[in-house]
Amino acid sequence: MEVDLNTGPFEEVETEALAVLSFEGAPDAAVDAATAGWLKELYDSGEFSGKARETALLYRPAGLRAKRLLVVGGGKAEEFTPAEMRKASAIAARTLQSKKVPRIAFAPGEGHAAADFASAAVEGAILGVFEPDRYKTESKKDEKPVEAFSLVGGAELRGAVEQARIVAEAQNFTRELANEPANRLAPADLANRARETAAAYGLECEVLDQDRMRQLGMGALLGVAQGSAQPPALIVLGYTPEQSFTADHLALVGKGVTFDTGGISIKPADGMEKMKYDMCGGAAVLGAMRAIAQLKPAVRVTALIPAVENMPGAKAQRPGDIVTTLAGKTVEVLNTDAEGRLILIDAITYAIQLGCTHLLDAATLTGSVVVALGHHRVGAFSNNDEFLAKVLASAGRQGEKMWRMPMDAEYKEQLKSPFADLANIGTRWGGSIVAAWFLREFVADKPWVHLDIAGTAYLDDAKPWMAKGPTGVTVRTFVDLATNWA
């Protein structure tokens, strides 16, 4: 989709469809004046009241150059945030796409002309029109995707519009990757996508293969991989700024399980197809790196994506197996379905060996976090209040809702094993916290934040502002964190 800035005024914008906001209580005065009272009449009719998610479409609006006018409800004006703007713009773009309108514009209005609102509007449109329909051949023939989106606003917004485009396109790239089924995206394919991304945007890329992992001693990662016919890959991408004002070196670590059957501790069949999404953390890291390469922040960033398929093959690891991790600690694998933490700890240790000073990981790690927080918030776990505050500030600016989870030392006791240094699971209770403690045992006291995205990485049903399937959550937080590092 083409994206540009149109400096207006909105009455003069020539487009197939112009979307505007109008809030609860009173029709937007500027739109009402331009349309000679049409909007007020609409409110008076009771058919539209400005509530969030409401829409009304007018064909050939008198007083406007646009061919159609779409009014989108903004809800209560005083509660309207950039996050609400992102949704409103997405709803506008999705509504018009469903009506096969290919070129659209959005005028957020005088009251919401600041850069954060403009960025959110652009992101919303790009994210809103995304459909995970790549492998549909029949229904696709009569679809008409939105080709062009213009934001109506002042010339000072040009930079914000461009940055928002880069970030939202990176997020859609993540969603596209995450949606690939396991027969079309094995660990080696993910590695190839990382190599292509690195070549296209100018990042360093190294992929560690199974032999290299054996030499280094990544027993936890290799243990998970051994049940699959697909070889594992540890994908490492590097971004180094031309000028840096800090010795900080951020690691972004993303779980890249291209399919999680559970291994020998096999999962039930019902819903297992969703485990193609078990590489959403890795895809988010890769998407974020694509945007970081273009936005060039002043901090060094290394991405690490341990990519494996968790299968119950003849060579699979068994419950009770004891593996030796890259860090040297031993782990008793009591449940082969707790594989995410096993691959992450070797990647985290490797990040530390590479000199990373701050560790941030995203992983579809536990069903337990979905029980705790549902599908609305990412679970955030940390050993460092200052670093966590930074991550949560980025998430807040980007409308990616998170919630800090406790990490009292009592939870860690569940991980005791009589036979090895640690067990890879505890009891059913507080499972997301126990999983976080397992990771924390390998962060060597570096500032670390773990984001459990099992409940937020994909939607089981479409929302008015987003298609069913992967959401691309944490991409915007990662990019915001890197670009606002200082």
Q: Is 267 a catalytic residue?
A: yes
Q: How many residues does the chain have?
A: 486
Distance in Å, CB of 268 to ligand BES, minimum: 11
Candidate segments 11-19, 74-82, 216-224, 340-348, binder of Zn ion by CB under 5 A: 340-348
- Using CB under 5 A, which of 24, 260, 321, 332 touches Zn ion? 260
Q: Is 311 helix (H, G, I), strand (E, B) or coil?
A: coil
92 or 279: whose CB is closer to ligand BES? Answer: 279
Distance in Å, CB of 446 to ligand BES, minimum: 24
Q: Is 381 helix (H, G, I), strand (E, B) or coil?
A: strand
User: 287 is in the binding site of which of Mn ion, Zn ion, ligand BES, none (Cβ under 5 to 8 A by kind)?
Assistant: none
Q: Is 94 a catalytic residue?
A: no
- Using CB under 5 A, which of 75, 340, 447, 470 touches Zn ion? 340
Structure tokens at 73: 């409800």
- Using CB under 6 A, which of 337, 346, 441, 480 touches ligand BES? 337
Cα–Cα distance measured from residue 449 to residue 440, given in angstroms and rounded to the nearest whole number: 9
Contact 332, 320 (CB under 8 A): yes
195 or 274: whose CB is closer to ligand BES? Answer: 274
Distance in Å, CB of 338 to Mn ion, minimum: 6
Cα–Cα distance measured from residue 280 to residue 298, given in angstroms and rounded to the nearest whole number: 26
User: 309 is in the binding site of which of Mn ion, Zn ion, ligand BES, none (Cβ under 5 to 8 A by kind)?
Assistant: none
Helix (H) or strand (E) holding 109: none
Phi, psi of 143 (to 5 degrees): -90, 160
Which of 76, 110, 95, 112 shows the shortest CA–CA distance to 19? 95
310 or 398: whose CB is closer to ligand BES? Answer: 310
Question: How does DSSP assign 317-365, residue by residue?
Answer: --TTEEEE-TTS-EEEES-TT--HHHHHHHHHHHHHHTT-SEEEEEE--
Candidate segments 156-164, 165-173, 333-341, 461-469, binder of ligand BES by CB under 6 A: 333-341
266 or 298: whose CB is closer to Zn ion? Answer: 266
Question: Could you say which residues in the range 257-276 bind ligand BES, by CB under 6 A?
Answer: 260
Structure tokens at 56: 């009304």
Distance in Å, CB of 346 to Zn ion, minimum: 15
15 or 366: whose CB is closer to ligand BES? Answer: 366
Distances (CA, A) of 481 to 289, 299, 388, 392, 440: 12, 10, 11, 9, 21
Cα–Cα distance measured from residue 368 to residue 80, given in angstroms and rounded to the nearest whole number: 32
What are the b/e assignments for 303-330, b being 16+ CB within 10 Å?
bbbbbbbbbbeeebbeeebbbbbbbebb
89 or 258: whose CB is closer to ligand BES? Answer: 258
Q: Rule CB under 6 A: is residue 332 a binding residue for ligand BES?
A: no
Cβ count within 10 A of residue 202:
11
**Total interface residues for ligand BES by CB under 6 A:** 16
Residue among 158, 195, 267, 401 flagged as catalytic: 267
Which of 384, 385, 380, 434 shows the shortest CA–CA distance to 403? 380
- Using CB under 6 A, which of 61, 108, 379, 431 touches ligand BES? 431
Q: Rule CB under 6 A: is residue 61 a binding residue for ligand BES?
A: no
**Which positions are catalytic?**
267, 341
Binding site for ligand BES (CB under 6 A): 260, 278, 335, 337-340, 364-368, 370, 425, 431, 454
